[in-house]
Chains A and B, each alone.
Chain A
Amino acid sequence: MSKKYKNPIAAGHHDLGGSQDFDNAKVNLDDESIDFEDFGARVDALRLVLGAKKIMSVDELRRGVEAIPREEYFQTQYYERWLRSMIYILLEKGLIEAKDIA
């Protein structure tokens, strides 16, 4: 399957549908630098609490993830982006301040 893109693509960098840049990128399950469980589970739990308390929606989470600049976006892992988004949205809402994040 190759790109046809007759149309100019001016999409956000998160909008990867049809992109071939990431084809066949294998995940090394033995890579000890990747924390497959604890970090992601804690970030997910935090998001669930923020959602249950009506502080922040999944749609807001997605906007925050999509606002991460391109370079940073591709240097971070999935749940790192979630955490960055949650910080960004909570700062925006004035619920936390920069000094709260050490």
Chain B
Amino acid sequence: MNLQVPVTAPLFKPGDMVRIPLVWPEQKGPCHIRTPAYIRGHSAQIICHFGAFPNPEELAFGKPAQLIHLYHVAVSLSDLWDDDAKQDASLLIEIYEHWLEKLSP
């Protein structure tokens, strides 16, 4: 397996609507996950594709890491928080492709 080349082309393009899955791998044992808890289960919009980077979940165990596509995604603040969240403001956050699910348009 050539770890330097992503297995697939990017699944998403700017403007696509996605969802961060509501899953908790950390409940199964020690791990290192870069997707914060508070955005899981929320929908987001792809803003840009950064390229592909070694999967930190594998690097955390000192393993050879597959390159995974990384995106900037926007999550609506009013979706995340109850108050003080301006309707048009959003959180920009970097998320790896295996933490994104396609939302049907």
| A residues lining the B interface (CB < 8 Å) | 1-12, 15, 17-18, 56-57, 59-60, 62-63, 66-67, 93
Scoring B residues 63 to 84 as 1 if CB is less than 8 Å from chain A, else 0, what string do you get? 0000000000000000111111
> Is A59's CB under 8 angstroms from B32's CB?
yes
Q: How far is the CA of A7 from the CA of B39 in the complex (A)?
A: 9
Complex interface: chain B residues within 8 A of A6 (CB): 41
Taking chain A's interface residues, is the majority helix, strand, or loop, or is none over half, making it mixed? loop
Query: For residue A67, which residues in chain B have a CB less than 8 angstroms away from its CB?
Result: 30
- Is B26's beta carbon under 8 Å from chain A? yes
User: B60: CB under 8 A from chain A?
Assistant: yes
Contacts of B83 in A (CB 8 A): 1-2
Q: Are A3 and B81 CB-contacts (below 8 A) given A9-B38, A60-B62?
A: yes
In angstroms, how far is the closest chain B Cβ from the Cβ of A23?
13
Q: Which residues of B42-61 have CB atoms within 8 Å of chain A's CB atoms?
A: 42, 56, 59-61
Does B8 touch A at the CB level, under 8 Å?
A: no
* Among candidates A1, A4, A18, A59, residue contacting B60 with C-beta atoms closer than 8 Å: A59
**Chain B minimum-CB-distance residue to A12:** B26
Q: List 22 A-B contacts (CB under 8 A).
A: A1-B81, A2-B81, A2-B82, A2-B83, A2-B84, A4-B79, A5-B38, A6-B41, A7-B22, A10-B26, A10-B37, A15-B37, A18-B38, A59-B59, A60-B59, A60-B61, A60-B62, A63-B60, A63-B61, A66-B26, A66-B30, A93-B62
Bound-complex Cα distance A40 to B31 (A): 25
- Docked complex Cα distance between A99 and B97 (Å): 43
Complexed CA–CA distance, A12 and B32 (Å): 10
